Amino acid sequence: MLPSACKRLLWFSWTVAGVWFLSGAGDLEAQSFATPPAQQCTVTNIKGQPIAGTVCGGTSHALDCTAGVLYRCNTNSTTNNCTLRSTCSSGCLTNGSSGSLNDACFTGTFAPIAVTPLNTVGGADLSVTLNLNNAHPSGAYVNLKIDRGDLVPGAYCAPPFELSPTENSTTFGLSSAVVNAATPVHIYSDLSYTDSSGVSRELSSRVQTVTLNSGGTLPPPPPLASFAMSPSTISAGGESLVTATLSRMAPANGVQVSLTSSNPTVASIIPAGQPFVGGSCLTSNGTFAIQAANSVPQTTTVTISASDGAAGQAPLTQPLTVNGGCVPITCSGGPSCGSTPDGCGGTLNCGCTNLPGQTCGGGGVANQCGPFVLAVSAVSMNPTTVVAGNSSTGTVTLNGPAPSGGALVGISSTSSFVQVPSTITIAQGQTTGTFTATTTVFTAGSVSAQISAAKGDTVQTTLTVTAAQ
């Protein structure tokens, strides 16, 4: 059995005796729905090589050929290598057991598809019945093809995914759009199944032409039957997926369902997640439509209401439980890099990791990201107080490692009693460097010298010198 994702898709390749086949290039939709049937079409293998045999148009190995009729194919050309052989009365059937392309007209009692009415005003409903009386012990996948999905939508939601082994027919509705002039819409079905002999087959119906005429109106939105939230209990910061179900199929333009929250500060509605039921569908695709706040002081029940605007219907309601808790905000980058509240009583410092080449304060503004500039960040003296005639060791610290060739830092003193080198070089890859401050002997009082280090920025520290005794 195929996964459900494949149930609505006509297979574009097919194998016979280990050889891959592919319907040829061209306007697949125009050829598959052609009325009267196209006289020629193209069928090749996956390498683009033409193949020979009899093929059933509209099936996965002959999508370029008009649905429900037989074509005889040859290897004389890579394009239009198939010509119309037989129109068939109601459809055709693949024959995968022969090891070659040898399809045949369908001879069952019931036509594979019946669409009613075939002539109606736009906006009216259509009824479609699919039949498969051939044995299908593993079930049969249903593929419905419509060339004007803008006028008759629902090929992927109106039919069932498959017929069970005991089901020989299914009936479903399709909605139609209002038109300004008579417009044909072409519909056919392809039923894929494995017969009782284990042979994979496809039954392709003849194309049905529905004429939509002007003068119709779209029906109003049907009442909302129900809506469901999954899960119905979420934590702070969590989301809930919402699915809405109508009491009957939606008109061709679909139905927008509107959700509201009784307490948006605890659980808000995500605008882009509002449920939408497509034309001919009963149920919306599940979308994440409800978002809980990141901080919820205590467990709270919120009422979620849903309405589609159906006349006379009050909004449907469901309780949503939001558990108390708090989800700290996460780093999202940006120009700010200082300590900020995390929304849960703590702090957050994200730095400048999403801004390559920038650092916090690198542009000269505290707590702001800026281009990285190598600069001194500190200077210190050890000891900070000396007796005149003695020396002290200064340490300069950079805000990053020195580049190739080292980093030249200017050093200065505000007192003639304290002598320092005019510059020092901090070695490549290092973040600190040292220098020696010497002092001149004096016998009375004390001196306070400001020692400065300059590169990209200027920082200072104080060295105190006391008189010699």
What residues contact 438, with CB distance under 8 A and at least 6 apart?
Answer: 391, 418, 419
Three-state DSSP class for residue 100: coil
Nearest to residue 41, comparing CAs of 72, 13, 69, 80?
A: 80
Q: What's the pLDDT band for 334 if we cut at 50, 70, 90? A: low
Q: Which of residues 261, 291, 326 is at a domain's end?
A: 326
Which CATH number belongs to the domain containing residue 292 in this structure?
2.60.40.10
pTM of the predicted structure, to 2 decimals: 0.72
Q: Is the pLDDT of residue 9 over 50?
A: no
Q: Mean of the pLDDT values across residues 367-380?
A: 87
Nearest to residue 125, comparing CAs of 5, 212, 63?
A: 212
Does residue 175 sit in the same domain as residue 241? no
Cα–Cα distance for residue pair 45/23, rounded to 1 Å? 7
Cα–Cα distance for residue pair 250/279, rounded to 1 Å? 5
Contact by Cβ (8 Å): 326, 294: yes
Nearest to residue 452, comparing CAs of 398, 408, 394, 402?
A: 394
What integer pLDDT is reported at residue 435 of this predicted model?
97
Higher pLDDT, 364 or 446: 446
Nearest to residue 132, comparing CAs of 179, 189, 187, 86?
A: 189
Does residue 70 sit in the same domain as residue 148? no
Which CATH number belongs to the domain containing residue 141 in this structure?
2.60.40
| CA angle (434, 435, 439) in 5-degree steps | 145
CA distances from 24 to 90, 128, 156, 359 (A): 24, 29, 24, 58
For residue 360, tell me if it sits in a domain.
Answer: no
Does residue 15 sit in the same domain as residue 98? yes
Question: What is the domain extent for residue 267?
Answer: 224-326
Dihedral, CA of residue 111, residue 113, residue 117 and residue 121, to nearest 10 = -150
For residue 340, tell me if it sits in a domain.
Answer: no
Q: Mean of the pLDDT values across residues 424-434?
A: 96
Q: Is the pLDDT of residue 365 over 80?
A: no
Does residue 383 sit in the same domain as residue 413? yes
Q: What does 214-257 look like in DSSP terms, one character per residue?
A: SS--PPPPPPEEEEEEESSEEETT-EEEEEEEESSPPPTT-EE-
For residue 371, tell me if it sits in a domain.
Answer: no
Does residue 122 sit in the same domain as residue 205? yes
CA distances from 357 to 145, 257, 354, 360, 399 (A): 55, 48, 9, 10, 13
What pLDDT, in 10s, does the model give residues 234-282?
A: 999 999 999 999 999 999 999 999 999 999 999 999 999 999 999 999 9
Contact by Cβ (8 Å): 33, 188: yes
For residue 364, tell me if it sits in a domain.
Answer: no
Contact by Cβ (8 Å): 394, 409: no
For residue 348, tell me if it sits in a domain.
Answer: no
Q: What's the pLDDT band for 100 if we cut at 50, 70, 90? A: low
Q: What's the pLDDT band for 349 if we cut at 50, 70, 90? A: confident
Contact by Cβ (8 Å): 23, 64: yes
Does residue 169 sit in the same domain as residue 257? no
Does residue 51 sit in the same domain as residue 21? yes
What pLDDT, in 10s, does the model give residues 312-326?
A: 999 999 999 999 999
Q: Is the pLDDT of residue 19 over 50?
A: no
Number of domains in the chain: 4
Does residue 197 sit in the same domain as residue 247? no
Q: What's the pLDDT band for 129 if we cut at 50, 70, 90? A: very high
Among the residue ranges 47-51, 77-81, 133-137, 192-196, the one predicted with the least confidence is: 47-51
Does residue 241 sit in the same domain as residue 318? yes
For residue 18, tell me if it sits in a domain.
Answer: yes
Nearest to residue 256, comparing CAs of 227, 291, 217?
A: 227
In this structure, what token pair is assigned to residue 294? 């990141």
Query: Which residue, chain included where needed, has tokens 């049905």?
Result: 208
What integer pLDDT is reported at residue 355 of this predicted model?
74
Q: Which of residues 189, 213, 237 is at a domain's end?
A: 213
Cα–Cα distance for residue pair 63/46, rounded to 1 Å? 13
For residue 361, tell me if it sits in a domain.
Answer: no
Among the residue ranges 230-234, 321-325, 335-339, 431-435, the one predicted with the least confidence is: 335-339
Which segments of 266-355 are extended strands (E)? 267-269, 276-277, 287-292, 295-296, 300-307, 316-323, 325-326, 340-341, 347-348
Nearest to residue 191, comparing CAs of 36, 33, 56?
A: 56
What integer pLDDT is reported at residue 29 of this predicted model?
59
For residue 353, tell me if it sits in a domain.
Answer: no
Three-state DSSP class for residue 273: helix
Q: Is the pLDDT of residue 305 over 80?
A: yes
Among the residue ranges 121-125, 140-144, 152-156, 332-336, the one predicted with the least confidence is: 332-336
Q: Is the pLDDT of residue 442 over 60?
A: yes
Q: Mean of the pLDDT values across residues 16-38?
A: 60
Does residue 457 sit in the same domain as residue 401? yes
Q: Across all residues in the chain, what is the average pLDDT? A: 90
Q: Is the pLDDT of residue 83 over 80?
A: yes
Does residue 73 sit in the same domain as residue 139? no
What integer pLDDT is reported at residue 77 of this predicted model?
93
One-letter amino acid identity for 12? F
Q: Which of residues 185, 213, 241 is at a domain's end?
A: 213
Does residue 101 sit in the same domain as residue 117? no
Q: Report residue 120: phi and psi, to 5°.
A: -160, 170
